[in-house]
Amino acid sequence: MRSIYNISISLMIFAMKVGAVFSYKLKKGLAGRRQSCDIVKAAFSPTDSVIWMHAASLGEYEQGIPVLEKLKEKFPQHKILITFFSPSGYDNVIHKNHIADAVCYLPFDTPRWVQQFTSNFSTDIFVTVKYEYWYNLLAHLNSKGAKIYVISAFFYERQVFFKPYGSWFVNEIRKNVTWFFHQTPTSYGLAKTLRLNQSSIAGDTRFDRVKQIRERDNHVPFVERFKNGHQLVVFGSSWETEEQIALLLAYHEPQTKIIIAPHDLARTEILQDLFPNAVLYSQLDAGKPLPMGAQVLIIDCIGLLSKLYSYADVAVVGGGFHSKGLHNILEAATFAVPVLFGNKYTKNPEADQLMVLHGGKSFDNETQASEFLLRLLRDSELLGEMGQKAGSFVADQPDATRIILEKILA
């Protein structure tokens, strides 16, 4: 079965190389991977003790970073490595302050690349987040004595582990992973059916992260002046459907302020066509005065979204109307803001929980969402109730980071 797995990795590499001809993101990811070995070779020596966290993308990074920060506090002499699979995670983190000695793309999971990459340092602790499993890497790290932890582990019935051919994959994680810290009781129950007994429920570390976000300085230049006492709806990580909702809102509620932070900055020109009178954040940042009565502000830079939610009266979070799935709703909910989104959120159990508590609401299409958004903005009592419930939902969650650290350090 390992031979079949290795063949599938080779086919994936080939497909990505072909796709890179047409996709800038794939091209960027491939170019980044070619540099990974050089990056770790420059940052570490083969005898350096390293704590390594791997995340598929930015969302998983946000789940893992609270644990990584605490591990660094406990083991200050260890060096820190962070790897990503996707450009969206790497690009967001490499330009920010972070605790890592090296940040790079994870090389492809072939035996040769795993050996070459890991020979540059000694891994004491390896943390992977949610459901990112690379089987050659896990087997190699386990053979070298590394402790391997999965935090915010999330098992669901459509995973390969539950397929008729999934027994090899289950056996690999059973023998190589030290401990699974599950995000939900459902995930824990599914893991137990696979006899993954090295499991416990810890909760979602993103709640710890967004609680930290709420307590920091969330001031964003120009936004207070842009809002100017009006209601503000923030469209975070927007795709096409959320932007159509914003267009309807702008038409029906000309006094309501709108901020749009697209999921991809390449959408900026499209948004300028949709909203010809919109202001770009980069223009304000460069010294251009804020036009009188401006209704729409387009965020054409990264790193501001979680702060922008602190100004919002309502948040519309993107991805839920798209096959890619829902983006982070907790960054909005932590500020006691009602959260609206599309119905594709099966990998986001927190969305179900938020709706049960009436702090958020999902919709099948843009018409439903637009109608509810208009009603919500006109009903101050409902607006306040939903916001309070969203904030309480985050505030009442257990300290998952503490639970995880206690087990790792036991």
Tens digit of each residue's pLDDT (9 = 90 or more) over 267-299: 999 999 999 999 999 998 878 888 888 999 999
DSSP state of 311: G
Length of the chain: 410
Q: Which stretches of 78-184 are DSSP H helices?
A: 87-94, 111-118, 135-143, 167-176
CB atoms within 10 A of CB 264: 12
Say whether pLDDT at 24 is over 90. Answer: no
pLDDT surpassing 90 at residue 230 = yes
C-alpha–C-alpha distance, residues 50 and 33, integer Å: 20
The band of 221, judged by pLDDT with boundaries at 50, 70 and 90, is: confident
147-162 burial, b at 16+ Cβ within 10 Å, e below that, comes to: bbbbbbbbbeeebebe
Q: What is the pTM of this model?
A: 0.80
Q: Is there a shared CATH topology between the 29-203 domain and the 220-395 domain?
A: yes
Angle between helices 24-43 and 2-19 (to 10 degrees): 120
Answer with the residue of higher pLDDT: 302 or 355.
355
pLDDT for position 32: 86
Instruction: Cite the active site residues.
Output: 60
Distances (CA, A) of 192 to 40, 140, 217, 372: 37, 25, 42, 41
pLDDT at 94: 86
Q: What does the pLDDT average to over 217-224?
A: 92
* Residues in Cβ contact with 356 at an 8 Å cutoff, skipping those fewer than 6 apart: none
Cα distance between the two ends of the chain: 35
- Residue spans per domain, the chain: 29-203, 220-395
**pLDDT computed for residue 344 by the predictor:** 92
Residue 348 has pLDDT above 80, yes or no: yes
Neighbours of 127 (CB within 10 A): 22
Residue 300 has which token pair? 């054409």
Short-list 236, 278, 243, CA closest to 261: 236
pLDDT tens by residue, 97-129: 889 999 999 999 999 999 999 999 999 999 999
Q: What is the mean pLDDT of residues 262-270?
A: 93
Three-class SS state of 51: strand
pLDDT in tens, 163-207: 999 999 999 999 999 999 999 999 999 999 999 999 999 999 989
Average pLDDT over all residues of the chain:
94
Q: Give the model's pLDDT for residue 25.
A: 82
Q: Among residues of the chain, what percentage have pLDDT more than 70? A: 100
pLDDT score for 145: 97
Note whether 148 and 141 are within 8 A (CB).
yes
Beta carbons of 93 and 58 less than 8 angstroms apart: yes
3-state secondary structure of 251: helix
- For 90, residues 6+ apart whose C-beta sits below 8 A from its C-beta are 32, 84, 103, 104, 105
- Rounded mean pLDDT, 215-232: 94
**What span, in angstroms and rounded, lies between the C-alpha atoms of 297 and 238?**
13
Cα dihedral sign for 349, 354, 357, 358?
A: negative
| Alpha helices by DSSP H, 233-379 | 240-252, 268-274, 281-285, 305-308, 330-333, 349-356, 366-378
According to CATH, what is the number of the domain 29-203?
A: 3.40.50.11720
**Percent with pLDDT over 90 in the chain:** 81
At residue 54's C-alpha, the angle toward residues 52 and 60, to 5°, is: 135
pLDDT value of position 91:
86
Q: Does the structure show a pLDDT above 80 at 250?
A: yes
pLDDT tens track for 32-65: 899 999 999 999 999 999 999 999 988 899 899 9
pLDDT digits (tens, 9 = 90+) for 150-169: 999 999 999 999 999 999 99
| CATH number assigned to the domain covering 220-395 | 3.40.50.2000
Which pLDDT score, from 0 to 100, does residue 3 have? Answer: 87
The edge-to-edge listing of strands for the beta sheet with 257-262 is 279-280, 296-298, 257-262, 232-238, 314-317, 339-342, 360-363
